[in-house]
Structure 1
Amino acid sequence: MEKWNELCYMLSENIPSNMSEQLFELKVIQAFEKLGWSEYNNEIIVRESIQVGASNRISPDLVLKSKELGNLFVVEVKKPSFEIDNLTFKGQLSSYMGIMRVDVGILIGNKIQLFLDGRFFKENGIILIDEIDFERDNNKGLNFVKLFSKENYNREKIENYAKEKTLESKEIEGFKKLKNQLLSGNYNEKIVTYLKTELLKEYNENIIDKVFQILEVKIANNSNIFPLINHERKRIKKYNTFENVDISTKKLPIGQYVRKTFNDLVSTNSIDKSEIERLQQGSYSKLTFDIQFPFLAKENSKYYEKIRYWKNPYHIDGEFYFVTSQWYEVPANNDRPYYEEWLNKMKR
């Protein structure tokens, strides 16, 4: 884990937020040399100009290779202030992987994304197999070091890892789908019908109907259970905080709804310190809210960017926290159900 923590320091903690892509690329080269690869020995090829067709040329940022096997994987480097969840970046990496005839590709910017050729999954293009935040003691980071250290590099291990991550992702999606299906309300009637059928073996129908008139059977969230799938006061700065803003939650857009209801939780001290810590973690926020940034960030956090967080912070236990503004409510990306599930858990 020490080597991964060192990479976090090199590629995230010890760089300015406005670092240029060219300087960040040098940091990435140093990081791979920490993993045993050598630019001097031509194992890290930087911006090699490659002829494509009669008149075109390409220059992948980094190509990692060995004398025995040739090209192993491509690395595309993006400015660390950019969000690399970008189809253009993915398309660029996919093109380079195809032209260089490699199956593995890596995007590195504000985090790391690992891709594998889709043919291993009988799909077209390249497939995102894992996303790794620059967080110390991150088990995903430890796996990255194991997979991409020169002494351990083995494509078959990467393929097996990809299959495990794909299965894990399907389990998470299956869990969410089944949970939402059971909470839809249709299954409450089915449960009642089943219970009545079973009870008819011991009681008459009239008694059963009278009992169910005063009883309610429903499936509800267990606020005490989160399924785990492979997972001092400071000087107070003067801010115009969001506290005491009067907004009705009725039919509010998702952004206003989050700000208002989170303010209610803060004002009633409904969130404990451990939850505040978890809300500052990218992985926890992704799993809990299906969002791409940590729910909370301090101004001096590596995650904090003005364009990603609302300008008015919340004052919690003597410190100021900003809440991410990246919330969506469209058919293809609806964050409201995830937030409401968490909100109900905090209220109980």
Structure 2
Amino acid sequence: MNNEKWNELCYILSENLPSNTSEQVFELKVVQAFEKLGWSEYKNEIIVRESVQVGASNRISPDLLLKSKEQGNLFIIEVKKPTVEIDNPTFKGQLSSYMGLMRVELGILIGNKIQLFLDGKFFNKSGIVLIDEIEFKRDSEKGLKFVNLFSKQQYNKENIEIHAQEKIEEFKKIEEFKKLKRLLLSENYKVKMIDALKTDLLKEYGENTIDKVFKVLELNIKDKNKIVPVESYARSRTKSISTRERVIRPNGELAIGKYVRKTFNELVRDNKIDRNEIDRLQRADYSKLTFDIQFPFLAKENSHYYERARYYTTPYEISGEYYFVCSQWYEVPANNDRPYYEEWLKKMKRL
């Protein structure tokens, strides 16, 4: 039943929308969607653009406020035009401000997808924290969870907090993974590892022998994230071009494909890409908008986007999961992906 409700929400909020849907019309669709979940605008459970007094002279008007007679204000919804990418710090900042001023702990951004935010106090952080992101895909497990959490009959604060706690544990595991990885790759740990091996070897070998062997050996723990070897490029039918010429441009720069793999490897190595960005890089719409490429920048092997012909062969391990990088990059006057990628790269390096 709830799965059918989620599929209906996908129809209302995505599949049946004209491409030029305005934010005002989309807001009505969001109201319709929440009424499908049991909330009622007629009963003042959904408040649309209510002007709220803040302080002596200021007023705010959140797009939607959901409330109940028993518990008062429950959560705020900010609606954005569905053709606009909602991964925008301004939108998050606006929602955070409304949540703080109205003293609600939960906020939702709805546009080309749904983002759930919780007061940062649950994470010992300031501001608000993104706890989930749900795309409008039928039969989605996350979509079903959304319906379970936000149907009026099932809604309660405890369920939201349980969901948040699950996310907190998930974030903790990711941070623990990163911390342990940094530790194992550090020079200090290398020394400890060698000392431990020497201590164990002393049970069977003399100290001088062990020292001599270690002088001719190098012991390392290496990151499995490797720069993908350059594939053999097919020769042009009309002109013979060497692999070297295709990899290095006339001005000495790496060709775009090689450049993407080299610099992305460095970002992964330096832990410059967070979990949210990894999720975004697996989306076709975000990749098109950000890089002007036709496929998601990253894909797992079991993703419906993944095709061997469109992704480099060697995967990257990120937070314990394996991802393939899109190989469909172009660098010609009519279709030049390099400026898009370089802009994103600068952004990642600043983080």
- Shorter-chain TM band: 0.5 to 0.7
Cα deviation code 1:250-299 (max 9, x no counterpart): 9859986227899xxxxxxxxxxxxxxxxxxxxxx975x944534473xx
Tell me the amino acid that sits aligned with residue 246 of structure 2. D
Which residue of 168, 174, 177 maps to 2:176?
A: 174
Would you say the 8 A contact 2:280–2:286 is kept in 1?
no
Cα deviation code 1:158-201 (max 9, x no counterpart): 12221221221121122123213323455334322211121112
User: Who is 1:128 aligned against?
Assistant: 130
Q: Distance in 2 between matches of 1:66 and 1:295?
A: 37
CA RMSD of aligned residues (A): 3.8
TM-score by length of 2: 0.67
User: Who is 1:248 aligned against?
Assistant: 248
Identity rate, percent:
62
Which residue of 144, 169, 180 maps to 2:146?
A: 144
User: Who is 2:291 aligned against?
Assistant: 309
**Cα shift at 1:23:** 1.6
**Aligned length in residues:** 285
User: Who is 1:227 aligned against?
Assistant: none
Would you say the 8 A contact 1:247–1:260 is kept in 2?
no
Q: Distance in 1 between matches of 2:142 and 2:73?
A: 25
Q: 1:185 to 1:19 in 2, by over 3 A?
A: farther
**Cα shift at 1:136:** 3.3
Would you say the 8 A contact 2:149–2:155 is kept in 1?
yes
Would you say the 8 A contact 1:63–1:75 is kept in 2?
yes
Cα deviation code 1:295-321 (max 9, x no counterpart): 473xxxxx2675323358899678898
Secondary structure of 1:57's counterpart equals strand
User: Who is 1:86 aligned against?
Assistant: 88
Cα deviation code 1:55-81 (max 9, x no counterpart): 433221111112222221110001122
| Deviation larger for 34-43 or 134-143 | 134-143
Q: Distance in 2 between matches of 1:174 and 1:122?
A: 17
Tell me the amino acid that sits aligned with residue 289 of structure 2. I
Q: 1:75 to 1:11 in 2, by over 3 A?
A: same
Would you say the 8 A contact 1:37–1:43 is kept in 2?
yes
TM-score by length of 1: 0.68
Q: Distance in 2 between matches of 1:193 and 1:162?
A: 42
Tell me the amino acid that sits aligned with residue 170 of structure 1. K
Q: 1:185 to 1:60 in 2, by over 3 A?
A: same
Q: 1:309 to 1:140 in 2, by over 3 A?
A: same
User: Who is 1:293 aligned against?
Assistant: 280
Secondary structure of 1:146's counterpart equals helix
Q: Distance in 1 between matches of 2:257 and 2:53?
A: 48
Structure 2 residues not aligned, in runs of 5+? 226-242, 265-272, 297-305, 312-325, 330-336
**Cα shift at 1:154:** 0.4
Secondary structure of 1:328's counterpart equals helix
**Cα shift at 1:128:** 2.4
Q: 1:3 to 1:197 in 2, by over 3 A?
A: same
Which residue of 86, 89, 104 maps to 1:102?
A: 104
**Cα shift at 1:207:** 2.9
